[in-house]
């Protein structure tokens, strides 16, 4: 029963939360940091162009062309090429697999993950295009996770409880509280951008690892296929946040980046300590903690900060995420699908 609650709680968190994060990140005034740590001093909005030209508003940029940042624009075109809809996910086999092919412990575990997801998925012109499309994609993620809960959870009271995971489960609430602490604050834009990368790159991807683990058993095809698509989307969101941050002139001190990411790492490890069942072949709390540290280190390196944990990847199967996917016997469309014309346009932009 516990594992059943774990998956659905994870889904409910993601459904409502990601969209809110995107909109708050883009709509909050862009402020620049000064030096280090707790005493970060924002500059006034009137001095933005002096502090960081990338964040400065300009009447000359009310239209998108001619592009001034083709690589940022290319991220938007990549996301556009990867567009998909909730109707493409076939959930017809998942309810049967859920009831007959998972143990009670496994159902509780994946219920909590689904509850987290369901609750959580709720600049310069080129970047605004990307974030606008990201908000639309997060809405689709939210719809899919809610549909998964509706499909596999037959008890309406339990379903409602899982869809309100932030209120029901302290470990889910802790992740939401941390994220909103940064996204809703008046912290400088670079600081919020790093926190946003932590939300996408640390909070979300660990739950994806658990669902990739279940895929090896050849069950829950709708959950597994939607997980591949959403994991690809969230990976792109993290991938975009890092180069955007690296383009900023006003950046955080390395100690601030380490503080934000290691704090997120600790919260994520506590979440998995709380929800992880003792008996799962090939996955346990210690391995998941190592994986969270491994991913945190990778994000630190991407942000031009050295590793903190130096932990190796305990889950080789997660390398599947970065490889070209292959359609298997129960997936009707390859998760690497994208619109070919738009993808070619992105390739052309790279040559510019």
Q: Which residues are catalytic?
A: 145
Q: Cα–Cα distances in Å, from 198 out to 5, 178, 321, 344? A: 25, 11, 18, 30
| CA nearest neighbour of 192 among 22, 15, 4 | 22
Cα–Cα distance measured from residue 316 to residue 282, given in angstroms and rounded to the nearest whole number: 11
Phi/psi-derived region of residue 30, left when phi > 0, alpha when psi is between -120 and 50, beta in every other case: beta
Q: Which residue has the tokens 């689709």?
A: 140
Residue 35's φ and ψ, nearest 5 degrees, are -115, -110
CB 149 within 8 A of CB 11: yes
């Amino acid at each position: 029963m516990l594992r059943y609650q774990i998956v659905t709680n994870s889904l409910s968190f993601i459904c409502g939360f990601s969209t809110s994060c995107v909109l708050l990140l883009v709509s909050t005034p862009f402020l620049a940091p000064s030096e280090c740590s707790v005493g970060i001093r924002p500059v006034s909005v009137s001095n933005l162009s002096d502090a960081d030209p990338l964040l400065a508003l300009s009447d000359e940029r009310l239209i998108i062309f001619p592009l001034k940042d083709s690589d940022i624009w290319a991220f938007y075109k990549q996301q556009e090429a990867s567009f998909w809809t909730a109707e493409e996910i076939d959930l017809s086999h998942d309810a049967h697999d859920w009831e007959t092919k998972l143990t009670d412990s496994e159902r509780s575990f994946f219920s909590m993950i689904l509850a987290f997801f369901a609750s959580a998925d709720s600049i310069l012109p080129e970047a605004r295009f990307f974030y606008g499309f990201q908000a639309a994609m997060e809405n689709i993620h939210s719809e899919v996770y809610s549909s998964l809960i509706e499909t596999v959870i037959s008890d309406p009271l339990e379903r409602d409880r899982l869809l309100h995971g932030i209120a029901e489960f302290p470990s889910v609430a802790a992740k939401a509280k941390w994220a909103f602490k940064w996204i809703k604050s008046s912290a400088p834009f670079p600081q919020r951008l790093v926190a946003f990368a932590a939300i996408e790159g640390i909070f979300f991807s660990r739950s994806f690892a658990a669902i990739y683990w279940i895929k090896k058993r050849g069950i829950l095809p709708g959950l597994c296929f939607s997980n591949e698509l959403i994991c690809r989307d969230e990976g792109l969101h993290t991938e975009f946040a890092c180069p955007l941050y690296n383009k900023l002139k006003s950046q955080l001190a390395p100690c601030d980046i380490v503080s934000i990411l290691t704090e997120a790492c600790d919260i994520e490890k506590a979440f998995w300590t709380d929800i992880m069942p003792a008996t799962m072949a090939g996955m346990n709390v210690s391995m998941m903690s190592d994986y969270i540290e491994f991913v945190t280190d990778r994000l630190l390196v991407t942000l031009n900060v050295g590793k903190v944990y130096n932990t190796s990847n305990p889950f080789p199967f997660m390398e599947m995420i970065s490889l070209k996917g292959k359609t298997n016997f129960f997936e009707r469309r390859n998760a690497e699908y994208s619109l070919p014309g738009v993808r070619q346009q992105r390739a052309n932009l790279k040559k510019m």
